[in-house]
Structure 1
Amino acid sequence: MNQKVRAELILKILESKFMIPSVSEVADDPFRTLVRTIISQSTADVNTRRAYMNLSRRVELTPKGLAEADINEIEKALFTAGLYRNKSRILKKLAKTIIQNFGGTLDFIYSEPLMDARRKLLSLPGVGPKTADIILLFCANKPVLPVDTHVNRVTKRLGFAPPDAGYEEVRMALQSLYPPQDYFKVHMLFISLGRSFCRARRPMHEECPVNNLCPSAHA
C-alpha cells in the first residue's frame, strides 16, 4: 500500500472516530488568535482558556489596547499560563511591533501571497513557524498545515516523516500526502489522535483506531 492511499485511509478512520470543530470554534480575528496561540505555548488547554479569558476581561485585545496596557495587569491575567511573565512581555512587544511595522493590523495575511505573509508573521516577537501557520490556515484559509507537538509525534509514528525530521520536513511531508482542503481537518484530527491514543508516554497501540495502518504499533 502506498503512502497516499494509507494516508487517506487513516484520515477516513479518524473522521469516523473524532469530532472536527469548525474553524470559528478555534479561531477569532487574526490578532486575538495570535494572542491565544502564544498563551497556549507550553500550557494546558484549560489554563490557556482561563488565561485568555482573564486577559480579555482586563485588556482590550487589539494591538493598541495591549500595547498601552500595564504590564502588571497582563501578568495578573496570564498567571495561570506557563511562563506568564515572559509571555506578558512578548505580547506587549508583539502589539507594539504590529503597530510600528504593519499599521496596527494583520490584514496582510488575507491579501499577500502565502510565503510573503508567512515571512512577515515570522518577523513578529514570539511567532515561530507553528504559530504563523496556525494564523495563516485558521484565519486566512491559506494552504499550509501547522505542526504542533501532537501532529509532529503522530506523523512520525505513522511513518510519514523520519524520527529526526524538523518542523519544515514534517509539514512538507503531510502537505504532499493530503490536498489543501484537508489541511485543517488533518491538523485537528492528528491532535485528537495524539491526545487520546498516540500519547508521548505509553501510547495506546492496542486501542488506537489506526493501529492496523501504523508501523509503530507493530514495531
Structure 2
Amino acid sequence: MSDDREPSVNISGGVDGGGVAAEFDPATADTRAERVVDRLGELYWEKTYGGQDAFTCLVRTILSQNTSDKASQPAHDALIERYNAEGVDLARALAEAERSALAETISSAGLYNQKSEVIIATAEWVIEEFGSAVAFDEYVKDEAPETVRETLLDVRGVGPKTADCVLLFAGGRGGVFPVDTHVHRIYRRLGIAPADADHEDVRAVLEREVPAAKCGFGHTATIQFGREYCTARKPACLEDPEACPMADRCEQVGVYPETDDVVDPAEAPEADGTEGTDGRDDHSSA
C-alpha cells in the first residue's frame, strides 16, 4: 500500500484527513457496490477513519461546502492559525469572533460571508448546548450515531453530508458513507443507485450494500475517482472506453460516448430507476 496514491491535500480524507491503513478482502464481496469499492481500494488507499476533533471536523466540512479542497484548505488553515490558540477552546473563540474578520480569514473558501455566519452560529450552538468543543467531541464519539446525526441536522447550515462526515472522520463510526456530489453522481451513473435517487436515497443504497468497515474509504476513494476519472462533464470513457477502471462495472447512465454527450443520470431517457438497484453482482466477475 503506497501513500503516493493519495492526494496531497484532501479535506475528505487522504494524507491530511488522517485515518489508519487497513486491508479488506475483495473475495468476500457479494454486491455490485462492494465490488466497486474494492476496485477503488486497489486504485487508491484503504483506511478506517476516526479520531479527528469533532468541532474542527465540523468547521472543515462547512468550509468545504460548494467549493474545492484547493480553495477550502487554505481557508481552514488560516482559521486554525488565527483562532485556535493554545489553551483556547476553538468553539468559544469562533462564537466570540467578529464576523467580518472571520469572513476575511476564510475568504479563499468562497461564500465566505455566508459561511462565516454559519460557523459563528454553529460555535454558539456548541457552547450553549455542550459548553465546549471538548464536550461536543465527547458527545459525537460516545452517543448513538443516529442521535448525533439527528442533532447535527437540526443545526443551521449542517446537511446530511456534513453530519455524516463528522460521524465518520471524528466519531469513527462504521457504516457511514457520506454522499457528496461525486458520490451522488457516480453511483447513479454506474447504475447501482436509481437514476433519480436523491442524496439520501444513494446513501441508503450504499450503506445497505457496502460493509460497514469499507464505507469510510469507499467515500474518500470515490471522491478521488470522481476527480480523476468520472468527472461531471468529461468522464474518461468519452475519450477511451477502456480508460476508466470501472468500465466493466458501469452502466454509463447518462453518458453517451458515441455522441460525446453527458447528462445527469436522472435526465437520461433510458433511465427508469429500476436497473441495477438491488446491488447484487451475480453476473459479473471479480
TM-score between both structures, scaled by the size of structure 1: 0.91
Once residues 97 and 149 of structure 2 are traced to their aligned partners in structure 1, the CA distance between those partners, rounded to angstroms, is 27
| Aligned equivalent of 2:10 | none
Partner of 1:46: 70
Cα distance 1:5–1:13, how it changes in 2: closer, same or farther (>3 A)?
Answer: same
Q: How many residues align?
A: 215
1:52-76 deviation line (CA, Å, top 9, x unaligned):
1111111127110111122222111
1:139-150 matches, cutoff 5 A: 139-142=170-173, 143-150=175-182
Task: Measure the CA separation in 2 of the matches of 1:9 and 1:97.
Answer: 41
Q: Shift of residue 102 of structure 1?
A: 2.4
Does residue 198 of structure 2 align to residue 166 of structure 1? yes
Paired AA for residue 40 in structure 1: S
Shift in Å at residue 112 of structure 1? 1.5
Give the CA deviation at 1:50.
0.6
CA contact (8 A) 1:159 1:214 kept: yes
Gaps of 5+ in 1: none
Q: What SS does the corresponding residue of 2:234 show, helix, strand or coil?
A: coil
Structure (1/2) with the larger helix percentage: 1
Aligned to 1:197: 229
Partner of 1:119: 150
Amino acid at match of 1:210: M
Aligned-partner Cα distance in 2 for 1:4–1:214:
16
Query: In the alignment, what sits opposite 1:94?
Result: 122
CA RMSD of aligned residues (A): 2.0
Find the counterpart in structure 2 of residue 16 from structure 1: 42
| Aligned-partner SS, 1:98 | helix
* Deviations, residues 5-41 of structure 1 (Å, cap 9, x unaligned): 43333223222212346637xx730100110100011
2-structure distance, mates of 1:23, 1:115 = 18
3-state SS of 2:193 partner: coil
Structure 2 residue aligned with 1:76: 104
Question: Conserved in 2, the CA contact under 8 Å of 1:20 and 1:188?
Answer: no
2:169 aligned residue: 138
**Which amino acid is 2:216 matched to?**
F
**What is the aligned-residue identity percentage?**
36
Q: 1:29 is matched by which residue type in structure 2? A: D
The letter of the residue matching 2:45 is: M
* 2:31 and 2:210 in contact (8 A); partners too: no
Runs of 4+ more than 4 Å apart: none
Length-normalised TM-score, structure 2: 0.70
SS of structure 1 residue aligned to 2:107: coil
In structure 2, what residue type is equivalent to 1:99?
I
Q: Residues 72 and 39 from structure 1, CA distance in 2 versus in 1: closer, same or farther, beyond 3 angstroms?
A: same
Corresponding letter in the other structure for 2:32: R
Residues of 2 paired with 1:93 and 1:121: CA distance?
Answer: 13
Distance across 2 between alignment mates of 1:175 and 1:157:
18
SS of the residue 2:236 aligns to: coil
For 1:36, what is the secondary structure of its paired residue?
A: helix
